[in-house]
Structure 1
Amino acid sequence: MTILVGDCRALMPAHAPFDMILADPPYGDTSLIWDRRVEGWLALAREALAPTGSLWLFGSLRSFIGVAQEFAAAGLRYVQEIVWEKQNGSAFHADRFKRVHELVVQFMRDDASWGGIYNDVQTTSDATARTVRRKRRPPHTGQIEAGYYVSEDGGPRLMRSVIYARNCHGRAIHPTEKPVGLLENLIRTSCPPGGLVSDWFAGSGAVGEACRATGRRYLGCEIDADMAQRASARIAATLPLGGAPAAPLPLPGDQT
């Protein structure tokens, strides 16, 4: 449960391989000084993934369009996306819909197969027990060889791709902090128990807290030393697993 202090591009590759990478980089959607896209990290992240690992990436549609060509160039292949729905959101313009959602997209290495990726898709228990009915795949979806889902009413259902979770307004450590419950769902789905989750833009340490709650190991990286210290204190105070507190590590002397 450690947070490195410095540039993720310089520090994280040396600690590979990672069972899962969960990243929340700047989107580049605003004029704020810290909201600038980070160049070159995607290719490094791809090489740092274990063969069975995958990358979950937060962003807006605009941010994904802005770097669309970089995913293929980095050797990353799209898998799926979910929509995080918030109770309130951002109103950048008074003449457009208020944006109350963000995207979270999963990628895997281009040399991997979906069957070889760790995947424990989460289910919900909201099905009713009135009948048992096998659902047929709609004919308009075409041929699906493997991975099809057969649901029975009265049993668990696959978690929906639109997930509602309250944002952290009023209690956030970091201005773009993500809710721990949402992060836990992603971690349980894509990292095996005891596996190593890599958080390349650690911010408030919410991913580290989610890793403690789900029994996964954690390595984060944050360029803001003060924020890294606050994130480490947060992780150390949350569901301690008997290890030492996550103390930030300084950059090597030849880096700034």
Structure 2
Amino acid sequence: MPLNSVLRGDCIEVMRGLPAASVDFVLADPPYLVNYVDRSGRRVANDRNDHWLVPAFEGIARLMKPDTFCVSFYGWSRADRFFHAWRRAGLAPVGHLTFPKRYASSTRMLRYQHEGAYLLAKGRPPRPAAPIGDVIPREYTGNRLHPTQKPTSILTPLVRCFCPQGGLVLDPFAGSGSSLVAARLVDRSFLGIELDPAMHATASARLSAGPRRRPPLPADVGAAA
């Protein structure tokens, strides 16, 4: 089992080669199925179709240890497809997280100023020793490294809360590696998988550079939320 690295390839194929029940926590930021294009013309791989969605989450569930958690971001306009995939994989929603922004990422019928993620359970995991709030303010990354880059500040409390000390965090859609950096910042092992060769190179370089600072303690995060 490779540790503390990001593998290049299709996550469905890569996960088939990994041992079952080997992962303590999954932090997934999959494509939202919305054919997203940012202002500079960048796209997200596999964001135009959902043929990968069910097999990817079935693979994720196979790798999760019994009674563990997965946090998955999702596209709100495709929520039905995500729920179908999660339930097919045997993952049950047990909580919802909201990440409000100080800015609108787009404006249509509303000004869209938050993102969401579901807390999913395989089996019956115990309650966290120090539960976090379900609203975590999101800072702006500038999307310099990825078209939908998440800040590590919203990911570190998730890893700290839902992955035990000494545990392994898996991100099958690693992108620029934010979740992997977050895992390292709170002293967890990690494994990422990324399909896009440019993003794989970015994540690998980012991990080689090392962490710059430690995130706030859980109490600080809860107070801010």
Q: Flag whether TM exceeds 0.5 (same fold).
A: yes
Aligned residue for 1:163? 136
Tell me which of 208, 213, 225 is aligned to 1:236: 208
Could you state the TM-score of these two structures normalised by the residue count of structure 1?
0.71
Secondary structure at the aligned position of 2:102 is classed as strand
Tell me which of 5, 8, 33 is aligned to 1:5: 8
Q: 1:188 to 1:88 in 2, by over 3 A?
A: same
Amino acid at match of 2:98: V
The whole-number CA distance in structure 2 between the counterparts of 1:65 and 1:120 is 31
Q: Which structure 1 residue ranges, 5 or more long, are not aligned?
A: 123-158, 241-256
Query: Is 2:70 the counterpart of 1:98?
Result: no
Residues 69 and 125, structure 2, Cα contact 8 Å, conserved in 1: no
Could you state the TM-score of these two structures normalised by the residue count of structure 2?
0.81
Identity between Structure 1 and Structure 2 (%): 30
Residues 18 and 50, structure 1, Cα contact 8 Å, conserved in 2: yes
Residues 5 and 228, structure 1, Cα contact 8 Å, conserved in 2: yes
Query: Is 2:130 the counterpart of 1:121?
Result: yes
Report 1:24-63 matches (<5 A): 24-30=29-35, 32=37, 34=45, 35-36=47-48, 37=50, 38-39=52-53, 40-63=55-78
Residues 6 and 223, structure 1, Cα contact 8 Å, conserved in 2: yes
Q: Which structure 2 residue ranges, 5 or more long, are not aligned?
A: 38-42, 213-225
The whole-number CA distance in structure 1 between the counterparts of 2:206 and 2:155 is 16
Could you list the per-position Cα deviations for residues 79-138 of structure 1 after superposition, in whole angstroms to 9, with x for gaps in the alignment? 101101112132252xx11111111111111xx2243x6x2434xxxxxxxxxxxxxxxx
CA drift at 1:64: 2.0
Report 1:134-213 matches (<5 A): 159-169=132-142, 172-213=144-185
Question: How many aligned residue pairs are there?
Answer: 197
Amino acid at match of 1:2: S
Residues 188 and 214, structure 1, Cα contact 8 Å, conserved in 2: yes
C-alpha RMSD over aligned residues: 1.9
Could you list the per-position Cα deviations for residues 137-169 of structure 1 after superposition, in whole angstroms to 9, with x for gaps in the alignment? xxxxxxxxxxxxxxxxxxxxxx43211121211
Runs of 4+ in 1 over 6 A off after TM superposition: none
The structure that has the greater radius of gyration is 1
